[in-house]
Amino acid sequence: MTSLTPLNCALNSSGKATIFLRITLDGHRCEFSVHRKIKLDWWNTQSQLALGNSAETQEINRHLSVIKNKVYSIQQNFERDNESYTATDLRDVLLGKDKTKMMLLEIFQEHNDKVESLIGKDFSAGTAERYRTCKKHVGAFIKMKYKKNDIPVKDVNHKFISGLEYYLKTTRNCAHNSAIKYITNFKKIIRIAHANDWIDKDPFLHWKGKLKIVEREFLTQEEIQKIIDRELKMERLDQVRDIFIFCCFTGLAYADVKKLTKDDVVIGVDGEQWIKTRRTKTDTRSNIPILPIAQTIIEKYKDNEPMKIKNLVLPVLSNQKMNAYIKEIADLCGIKKNLTFHLARHTFATTVTLSNGVPVESVSKMLGHTNLKTTQHYAKILDMKVSKDMAILRSKFK
């Protein structure tokens, strides 16, 4: 129901009060000004109209009639489309703040377009790809669950979020951490909607997504030596082996070693050669002293003609090929672990640095981690380091 009333709490200099329209629905109500003022003794509370036949009162009554008819028309549209609505929704549609028309995937696409345009400035290509994949998953969930191509963002609630998480883990067969990361990406879209007042409250308020600690694999010193010593007759395998070992001794991720230029290799404060670059993933600085084996590999390719032209340090192939070839090398070396190119970075953090007494703070800086906790996880999985630390303590007691 609607009701009109002039509020006398703020009379203007002419003694007139602003007329407000109140919409009440299911016990909830909202009010807003109709941008008309009237003297209190000109107002008929029962008819909710202005008294008299003056041009001013007639104009007010015509204006009020138009507004009430618009409200009833908006209500009929909601009923016709079989959509749920509130008193606030009726007001917002009337005032042009139609939250019901702000569609979830449209907001998501607008966000992704902005991310795409800022690749190389504020975002990496990998981040843009994750948001694209996340939108695809949300779209597929909406189609399966609601049989629609999109839904109003105001319809996203805690049940939707829980359903999306279940869908990712079952239908999409995502691991727990992958599902949580997708939900976290989706959370940003909802926060944008909330910040723009397209939704009244944050549906993530009571959602808790906790990542499980994953025991990351890494190579032991013996396994690294096996790969170094293995005679490889195929040039492509020898090349991939070199780059993999280079990353085991520098901690660089695939994207960072691929773009590593000769300008990134500089003389450090100690007079030795260092790698100084920015991580593609986080845009944080990585400063890494070059160990002898990594220096040997740099020297091996310094006269490579294609590398000279591109000013690159190493001839890195596509990520897909690198991962396929390193698995082939693992088979030849009799290593049963699931070797991936990123495992080299884990190996640098554990076997090469932490196991040899390099402080976790130094390792964190070389890896370009933004949070020390990320690096500390490596220290937790090193039984070998615990053994060495306790051996030092044991010798002190002796």
Q: Give the tens place of pLDDT for each residue, 318-361.
A: 989 999 999 999 999 999 998 888 899 999 988 898 888 888 88
214 in a structural domain: no
In this predicted structure, the answer to whether residue 315 has a pLDDT above a threshold of 80 is yes
User: Where residue 295 falls among pLDDT bands split at 50, 70, 90?
Assistant: very high
Find which of 38-42, 214-218, 277-281, 298-302 is predicted with most confidence, using mean pLDDT.
Answer: 298-302
Provide the 8-state DSSP code for 350.
Answer: I
Residue 8: per-residue pLDDT: 47
Task: Report helix, strand or coil for 340.
Answer: coil
Q: Which of 251, 249, 244, 248 is nearest to 314 (CA)?
A: 244
Of 176 and 93, more confident:
176
- What whole-number distance in Å separates Cα of residue 185 and Cα of residue 178? 11
**Residue 363 shares a structural domain with residue 393:** yes
Q: Which residue's entry shows tokens 């000279």? A: 308
Residues 9 and 128 in one domain: no
Distance (Å, whole) CA 337 – CA 199:
48
Spatial CA neighbour of 164 closest among 209, 223, 215: 209
Say whether pLDDT at 384 is over 70.
Answer: no
Q: Please state, in angstroms and rounded to a whole number, the distance separating the CA atoms of residues 220 and 244.
A: 14
User: 142-167 pLDDT, tens per residue?
Assistant: 999 999 999 999 899 999 999 999 99
Residue 202 lies in a domain: no
Do residues 55 and 119 both lie within one domain?
no
Q: Is residue 170 part of a domain?
A: yes
Calculate Rg over the CA atoms of the chain.
32
| Rounded Cα–Cα distance for residues 358 and 355 (Å) | 7
Place of tokens 């992704």: 112
* Residue 41 tokens, joined: 């003794």
CATH of the domain at 331: 1.10.443.10
The answer to whether residues 378 and 298 belong to one domain is yes
Half-sphere exposure of 241 (CA within 13 A, CB side): 23
Q: Which position has the higher pLDDT, 247 or 126?
A: 247
* Residue 42 DSSP one-character state: G
* 233-247, 260-274, 363-377, range with the lowest pLDDT: 363-377
Which of 40, 70, 98 is where one domain is finished? 98
Q: Residue 27: which pLDDT band, with cuts at 50, 70 and 90?
A: confident
State both tokens at 289: 């002293």
For residue range 198-209, list pLDDT tens digits in order: 888 899 998 988
CB-hemisphere CA count at 13 Å for 338? 2
pLDDT score recorded for residue 296: 94
Identify the H or E element spanning 195: helix 176-195
Reply yes or no on whether the pLDDT at 48 is more than 70: yes
Largest Cα separation within the chain, whole Å, is 108
Alpha-helical runs (H) found in 249-371: 254-258, 292-301, 305-310, 319-333, 343-347, 360-367
Residue 108, domain member (yes or no): yes
Residue 359 CB neighbour total at 10 angstroms? 11
Domain-located, residue 171? yes
Indicate whether 70 pLDDT > 60. yes
pLDDT higher than 90, residue 17: no
What pLDDT digit, counting tens, does each position of 239-254 carry? 999 999 999 999 999 9
CA nearest 328: which of 189, 253, 232? Answer: 232
233 with 360, same domain? yes
Q: Is the pLDDT of residue 84 over 60?
A: yes
Judge whether residue 168 has pLDDT over 90.
yes
Mean per-residue pLDDT over the chain, rounded:
86
- In terms of Cα–Cα distance, which of 129, 139, 147 is closest to 108? 139
Please determine, for residue 21, whether its predicted confidence score (pLDDT) is greater than 90: no
Q: Which domain holds residue 150?
A: 102-195
